[in-house]
Amino acid sequence: MPKTVIICGNLFDGVSDASLGPMEVLVEDGTITEVSGSVGRPGDAKVLDLSDRTVSPGFIDTHVHLCVDGLNLARQTLQCSPVKALAGLHYAQQYMRFGFTTLRDMGALDPEWPTLNLRDAIDHGLARGPRLIVAAHMISATAGHGDMQGMFPCRCHMGLSRVADSPAKIRELVRMEHAFGGDWIKTLNTGGYMSAGDDPARVTWFEDEMLALGETSQQLGLPLAVHTGAAEGCKQALRAGARSLEHCYLIDDEGIAMAEKADAFLVPTMQMTREDKALLLAGKLPQHAVWKFRRDVAAIEDAQRRMARSNAKIAYGTDCGMFPFSDGILEFQAMTAAGLSPARALKAGTAVAAELLQRDDIGMLAPGKLADIVAMPGDPFEDIAVTAKVDFVMKGGQVYRHGSFDLLQ
Ligand SMILES: [Zn+2]
């Protein structure tokens, strides 16, 4: 049984409100078995000296799209599923270098199941990468945010979208996601910004449709994530039993209170708003997004500040894929800029994200947890920006990156 002792200059355990100072972590066979001031030196143990680093649980991004190339969607519609899966592997590895050891993928635009194939390839050791938890597709109403047919009319026969307009068809689509091995159900009950022809301020599912989707997910034991913008959309998603609300662009105080009461999670994707704002100012936002994003941007930022002031559970999610994975690590900084404390932002990307994913084996540095461990110079409680300087990455006890050693290059 391989053993590793990690000497930590400073330690954040995923749940505490402050860093815990110098500590040591003992890893045996991929699992953490002891965290204390001194774990001893078992004879056969390898010692990793991170005494000049802050050590943290591996980061968890609960909203990515490994197989969606948001900035080149038109080109990507012409790519076959294996090409998307291979590109997704590249992005997953690139992102893991920043410290992300677990990702929840929120849906591909593809008739096949590339993100599930990618998840399984990594789980089976055929490819190196972060552990993936997957909603395979985005179930959408016709003309909803997940419907690509109108955006690329001549390619509407390609089955890029999962669309339905009746409770019966919705149930079938949910069951198909389950049949092929999806971990989560993802739907969209309002429009979005980067799609043509829909509006984030409008709800796209009727109540019976959304409820049919929620009930079917629940019956199958699959948690539900809902892309939602309008204040009413947030409430509808909660009525249907959503475990996480994605984006919550225009959530109001009543919706935030409902989420708190339901013990649901908010995934506010704040860095994406900063990315879209930069594109708007540079005149590079796609034309179909300009009118709605310009109309809403101040309200989105206000909603983010109100979420930060609430007691709702906020989890780290970015929507990377819609913008470059190299910027996903900046969500920590976006969260604190919106008013979250560094402690709450760090927990959002570790223990709270793990709770959202119903994974009690990750997101924490404690005995019994998987050894998903990252390290960075400096103290993120003092300067949240050091989260962008991770240079040590371990997943399940295996080192993927450490100084010049880099399995992910
Ligand atoms: Zn998304």
Domains in the chain and their CATH numbers? Answer: 3-58+364-406 (2.30.40.10), 59-356 (3.20.20.140)
Of the chain, the percentage scoring pLDDT greater than 70 comes to: 99
Query: Which residue from 8, 59, 2, 14 is spatially nearest to 390, judged by alpha carbons?
Result: 59
Q: Which two tokens stand for residue 205?
A: 């599912």
CA–centroid distance, 197 to ligand 1, in Å, is: 17
CA–centroid distance, 134 to ligand 1, in Å, is: 12
Tens of pLDDT, residues 360-407: 999 999 999 999 999 999 999 999 999 999 999 999 999 999 988 999
CA–centroid distance, 172 to ligand 1, in Å, is: 22
Q: Is the pLDDT of residue 319 over 90?
A: yes
Of 69 and 156, the structure prediction assigns the larger pLDDT to: 69
- pLDDT, residue 155, reads 67
CA–centroid distance, 319 to ligand 1, in Å, is: 5
CA–centroid distance, 170 to ligand 1, in Å, is: 20
CA–centroid distance, 227 to ligand 1, in Å, is: 7
Q: Which residues contact 186 (CB under 8 A, 6 or more apart)?
A: 106, 107, 135, 137, 138, 139, 224, 225, 226, 227
pTM for the whole thing?
A: 0.97
CA–centroid distance, 37 to ligand 1, in Å, is: 41
CA–centroid distance, 342 to ligand 1, in Å, is: 24
Q: Is 311 exposed, middle or buried (0-12, 13-18, 19+ CB in 10 A)?
A: exposed
Q: Is the pLDDT of residue 258 over 70?
A: yes
Q: Is the pLDDT of residue 215 over 80?
A: yes
CA–centroid distance, 226 to ligand 1, in Å, is: 10
Of 197 and 83, the structure prediction assigns the larger pLDDT to: 83
Show the DSSP H helices in 110-230 as ranges: 114-123, 167-179, 207-220
CA–centroid distance, 118 to ligand 1, in Å, is: 18
CA–centroid distance, 65 to ligand 1, in Å, is: 6
- pLDDT, residue 152, reads 75
CA–centroid distance, 271 to ligand 1, in Å, is: 13
Q: Mean of the pLDDT values across residues 237-264?
A: 98
